[in-house]
Amino acid sequence: MRCPSCSEVEDKVIDSRTAEEGAAIRRRRECLACGRRFTTFERIEGVEEGTVMVLKRSGTREVFDPAKVVAGVRAATKNRPVSEAAMVELAGQVEEAMRAIGSEVTTQQIGLAVLDRLASVDEVAYLRFASVYKGFEEAGDFQRELGLLTKSTEPKRRD
């Protein structure tokens, strides 16, 4: 960051704190050449109309990134017959769904939206993803989920 007094670009950060309710970081800097102190604000680039922010469990926010959805789906579809194109399409659908919710969504809302769509793509991937995003602790949860899935995707057989 160029010093406003002497134009030196080398400085050291002497203090960092969050500002604007976590949307920015305020840094107090000191020029290494002349010792002048100045303040900079760091914000996420490209936050504009239509940008979806994600509120994470830790309480921090980040810009919604479809690539992260693809990465999550890729992990769940490992060794399953699901194409990269299908994952990208799914991530695009999830992004649309999140935009419809509003300018801020939670990681849980994203997880559920992924689950909704993954169910019709691949059952095994769906269950793997569910185990992560719904925080299942007991095997019984899997059974219940599998029951729901079977109910919704398979026509009832008449014996």
Binding site for Zn ion (CB under 5 A): 3, 5-6, 8, 31, 33-34, 36
> Nearest approach, Cβ of 15 to Zn ion (angstroms)?
17
Q: Which lies closer to Zn ion via its Cβ, residue 9 or residue 63?
A: 9
> Nearest approach, Cβ of 9 to Zn ion (angstroms)?
9
Q: Which lies closer to Zn ion via its Cβ, residue 36 or residue 61?
A: 36
Q: Which lies closer to Zn ion via its Cβ, residue 11 or residue 145?
A: 11
Residues with Cβ < 8 Å from 145, sequence gap 6 or more?
127, 130, 134, 136
Q: Which lies closer to Zn ion via its Cβ, residue 33 or residue 63?
A: 33
> Nearest approach, Cβ of 31 to Zn ion (angstroms)?
3
> Nearest approach, Cβ of 14 to Zn ion (angstroms)?
14
